[in-house]
Amino acid sequence: MKIFKKPLPFQEYCLHLKKKGTIGFVPTMGCLHEGHVSLIKQSSKKCNYTIVSIFVNPLQFGPKEDFSRYPRPRKLDLDLCRKEKVEAVFLPDEKTFYPEDFSLLIEETMLSTTHCGALRPGHFSGVVTVVSKLLNLSLPDFIFMGQKDYQQCLVIKRLLRDLNFPVKIIICPTLRENDGLAKSSRNIYLSEDERKKACGIYKALSLILKKYKTSSKKFTPADWKKLNSILTGELEKIPDFKIQYADLVDGESLKDISLHSKKIIALVAGMLGKTRLIDNLLIK
Ligand code: AMP
């Protein structure tokens, strides 16, 4: 497995690979878990070469967020990539990736304005900028991302379309722990007690899905509002969970549900102690 720290040799290598076959790209911030591995596996199935990037991107963290304490177990990460037969890992060093006078930011101005975008100013601009750079370096045919970060998937889909990147996004299902908690690098911040409470989020989401699936009526926007209140009520029962948002919205625009909404997504974010957790479930 090749490991690159500098952008240009990495790009040269990807150019060389691209002449021989298809490239699947899995961008990550490391502290890899089975969720990441599922993306790597899907890429390996679909593409001739799988490239993984591991980079805790400072641009997407707010000043009061967990950038410096974000876990960075690089040896374990690389061992896992080796085990999965990844072709190459890009492990950029921050100073060469963002030179001191780096002065460009890309901003998606619609989907990024709600939910996590509203709570974390600059977050999606940081994501879109880093993903654009990483795509220009890794030159993939496909980018693999997790539904766990639903809004991020929509924003990147829009980036690919609006800036004409010749890349297709493959959105992979959320991998969960046995009790339903979505796997996340941040779960290691949870105390034992918080960890037990955290599975309540998926329980609440599943209950909403069940209520929708078992109802025989055609839902009006008012019915969706009622279901949304049930979701909020269930989440409020989780001790110490501070809801940031709990919304049933249109799954394409992330706006209010209308009679024309083809997809409906339930989006949840909140704080359990000092740990921010997000999750979602496609309801329709
Ligand atoms: P991160 O390292 O948290 O930036 O995540 C890198 C990629 O892995 C993103 O596309 C995430 O959506 C995806 N991912 C994170 N957690 C999961 C999970 N539990 N299941 C599937 N994909 C995930």
Tell me the pLDDT tens digit for each residue of 221-277: 999 999 999 999 999 999 999 999 999 999 999 999 999 999 999 999 999 999 999
C-alpha 34/C-alpha 174 separation (Å) is 10
Mean pLDDT confidence for 17-27: 98
Write down the pTM of the prediction: 0.98
**Closest atom of ligand 1 to CA, residue 30:** 2
- When pLDDT is cut at 50, 70 and 90, the band that residue 70 belongs to is very high
- Let me know how long the chain is: 284
Nearest alpha carbon, ligand 1 atom 17: 35
**Using CA atoms, how far apart are residues 148 and 280, in angstroms rounded to an integer?**
7
Alpha carbon 139 to its chain centroid, in Å, reads 20
Protein residues whose CB sits closer than 6 Å to any atom of ligand 1:
28-29, 35-36, 38-39, 145-146, 148-149, 172, 174-175, 182-185
Q: What is the pLDDT of residues 167-197, one digit of tens each?
A: 999 999 999 999 999 999 999 999 999 999 9
Band (67; pLDDT cuts 50, 70, 90)? very high
